[in-house]
Amino acid sequence: MPALPLLTRAQRTPLIVAGVVVFHALLLWAFQHGLIHRAFEVIVATELIADLTQPEPLKPPPPPKVEPKPTPKANTPLPALLPSPVPVAAPVPVEPVSTAAPSANSPVVAAPASPVVTQAPPVVAAPPAPVKVELPSSDAQYLQNPKPAYPALSKRMGEQGKVVVHVLIGADGLPQKAEIKQSSGFDRLDKAAMATVMAWKYVPGKRGGVPEAMWFNVPINFVLE
């Protein structure tokens, strides 16, 4: 018997439907005519038709052959493109740490003291030396300043006292202006002291050896003998 050609799904569907219809028609006819024993033959014929119409299952394609990679021989040199091996440092032996408790007679080893880092004190600049200041003077002998004149009326009236005159002495040693800082209590004595101070000459005051104008207090004593 020649092999039936494979049918597509669209071609098999009408044949299956026709077979089912024929099967039901034959089964009905068998019941009507008492031909039950022929039903088996019809079922078998239907199954054969179904088997013939079903396509054979497709076999999976064989897996591709994988060729094993050739293993390099021991004497085969490595390719030039491979990176050079990184040297690995030799492991440092670690001494085992004893966990046993020290005995009472075992010597005690003191841990080495950590070095103490001392910082040098900050360098502080020395303060500048104070500038030497020399006050004016009126006692130099070469100045030849006369004694203050005692007012005759003050002598007759018994007026006496101390007058302090605040005088500004220039860099040339001459008085520029004056004022009464402490009064004697008598106007005639105060005026006599002002006239005397403005007529004197002075040694000018100096700052760092350089003469400059300075204020100076000149005391004048009026005492009756």
pLDDT tens-digit map of 69-81: 656 555 555 555 5
| Least confident piece of the model among 4-18, 36-50, 122-136 | 36-50
Supply the pLDDT for residue 106.
Answer: 55
Look at residue 176 and tell me whether its pLDDT is greater than 90. yes
DSSP 149-164: PPPHHHHHHT--EEEE
Supply the pLDDT for residue 60.
Answer: 65
Share of the chain above pLDDT 70, in %: 56
- Residue 179 pairs with which residues in a beta bridge? 166
The pLDDT-based confidence of 28 (bands split at 50, 70, 90) is: confident
CA distances 217 to 59, 112, 143, 194, Å, are 135, 72, 17, 12
Q: Which of these CATH numbers, 3.40.50.720, 3.30.2420.10, 1.10.533.10, 3.30.70.1140, describes 133-222?
A: 3.30.2420.10
The pLDDT-based confidence of 120 (bands split at 50, 70, 90) is: confident
Residue 141 DSSP symbol: G
Please state the rounded mean pLDDT for residues 148-161. 93
Supply the pLDDT for residue 13.
Answer: 77
Q: Are 202 and 144 in contact (CB under 8 A)?
A: no
CA atoms within 13 A on the CB side of 76: 7
pLDDT, mean over the chain: 75
Look at residue 1 and tell me whether its pLDDT is greater than 60. no
Nearest of 213, 210, 219 to residue 184 by alpha carbon: 219
